[in-house]
Amino acid sequence: MSDFKLTSDSFNEGDTLAMDHILSEEFGFGCAGGNQSPHLIWTDPPEGTESFALTMYDPDAPTGSGFWHWVVINIPKDVRELPLDASRNGLPAGAIETRNDFPAPGYGGPCPPEGHGPHRYIFTLHAVGAAELPVTPDLSAAIIGFNLHFATIEKAVLTGKFEK
């Protein structure tokens, strides 16, 4: 195992996510945040890494199968961060946002049901052993995750939380 680590200037492990990162009103789920993807930084990827993939997942969503908020694949191997609001302001060349569970490509911030308690938002950075995943952006997050399972060398995780 390497010292592969995912951190953020936007929040620390276990912190409540700021309103800047919460889903905006335009999506019609009852939240009024900025819907900005957080700044993410990673260090010390394992040997053999050819690209990265990022997922943001809420295991506490009342769906029976969680909720995928963000999926980015084919992040070039020399990239070590995604800036604040990268989803709207431009990802690194070659990186692709795939469908989330809204379903649309791009970042969809947290917006759990009122009174449902705190939800965890798990950002997982996958060190991938291939330069590109053999998938298309229109596939579901579950299918992307299935492919990631077999292509991932190592993962780094950072978790935030939010409740209404």
At residue 55, the 3 state secondary structure works out as strand
pLDDT digit string, tens, across residues 72-94: 999 999 999 999 999 999 999 99
pLDDT digit string, tens, across residues 107-157: 999 999 999 999 999 999 999 999 999 999 899 999 999 999 999 999 999
- What's the predicted TM-score (pTM) here? 0.96
103 has a pLDDT exceeding 90: no
Query: What are the domain boundaries of the chain?
Result: 5-162
Longest dimension (CA), the chain: 44
Question: In the chain, which ranges are continuous DSSP H helix?
Answer: 86-89, 141-151
Report pLDDT for 27.
82
Is domain 5-162 annotated with CATH 3.90.280.10?
yes
State how far the Cα of 149 lies from the Cα of 21, in Å rounded to an integer: 27
pLDDT band at residue 1 using 50, 70 and 90 as cut-offs? low
